[in-house]
Amino acid sequence: MIEVKDVHFAYPNGVEALKGVSLTIKNGEFIAIMGENGAGKTTLIKHFNGLLKPTKGSIFVDKVETTEVSVAALARTVGFVFQNPDNQLFSETVEEEIAFALKNFGFKEKTIKGRVTWALNLLGLTQYRKTSPFMLSGGERKRVALASVLAWNPRILILDEPTIGQDHQQKEKLLQFILQMKTQRKTIIIVTHDVEFVAECDPRVLLMHQGKIVADGEARKVLTNPEILLHASIIPPQITQVFLQLSDFELPKEVIDVYEAREKLLNALERKAK
């Protein structure tokens, strides 16, 4: 679905944000891109919908090179939710915000009404249908931005720091939503510092440092490797930190969520009882 070939990118001020990035993202994959501030995460994902063009190298989205098409054309395939929702909200009401792109893409009025209602229900925004997005909290505005993208049903969904401003309940809803999208074979890419959320989701993790990908693999492999995480200024999940300390007692190190931890501890107790 996305192919990145030796991509370099430098900003006009001379800062080289990407330094020879290459990767392949398959249709239906769930990817979490992690790393310290300034690692190149957001710069990389802005190349996926054409907001940025490579200084060197090439990027293909669904076999189309991004330099050959407009951002508007890529938007039909790639839905992008910014870290700051205020960068993409402008309509007078939540309803109009969600309907805007659908109208631009030429959807029929009946379809638009149905998709708007669906998105409002999905993100728990029905009561705000006639409210200005700018009267809502930061977390609610973020959900409006997400609803406005989901409404047109893009094949690729990119979420930049989706858990910022969301409470535990909303994070749980986001997790369930992502799992639902996975069953529909959507390609989902998130940029996040929220290591606990990533541990719950268990995606493929791309770890970036100084404009390069320094690790690429299953969440349990990447998030339980202290040396790799330290290199990118990432702290392991709390439960992983506990099991790393308990590894001397013949408990596994590769544990990233509490449910797995409970199972491992119960198994260890059973073995000891025998």
CA contacts within 13 A on the Cβ side of 96:
10
38 DSSP assignment: T
Give pTM, 2 decimals.
0.89
Q: For residue 64, what pLDDT is reported?
A: 93
Backbone angles phi, psi at 32, to 5 degrees: -115, 125
* Rounded (10°) CA dihedral 117, 121, 126, 129: -40
- Give the model's pLDDT for residue 160: 93
Q: How confident is the model at residue 238 (pLDDT cuts 50, 70, 90)?
A: confident
For the chain, give the mean pLDDT: 90
Is the confidence at residue 60, as pLDDT, over 90? yes
Give the pLDDT band (50/70/90) at residue 246.
confident
Band of residue 274 on the pLDDT scale cut at 50, 70, 90: low
Rounded Cα gap, residues 183 and 224, in angstroms: 27
Alpha-carbon distance of 226 to 223, in angstroms, equals 7
Residue % of the chain over a pLDDT of 70:
99
pLDDT digits (tens, 9 = 90+) for 179-224: 888 888 899 999 999 999 999 888 999 999 999 999 999 998 999 8
Give Cβ neighbours of residue 98 (< 8 Å, ≥ 6 apart): 115, 116, 119, 120, 144, 147, 148, 151
Please give the average per-residue pLDDT across 46-60, as a whole number: 95
pLDDT digits (tens, 9 = 90+) for 75-122: 889 999 998 888 888 899 999 999 999 998 899 999 999 999 999 998
Domain range summary for the chain, segments of one domain joined by +: 1-77+155-224, 89-153, 237-274
Burial string for 196-233 (b: 16+ CB within 10 Å, else e) reads bbbbbbbbbbbbbbbbebebeeebbebbbbeebbebbe
Q: Are 77 and 71 in contact (CB under 8 A)?
A: no
User: Residues of the chain with pLDDT > 90: what percent?
Assistant: 58
Q: Is 245 helix (H, G, I), strand (E, B) or coil?
A: helix
DSSP 160: E
CATH numeric code, 1-77+155-224:
3.40.50.300
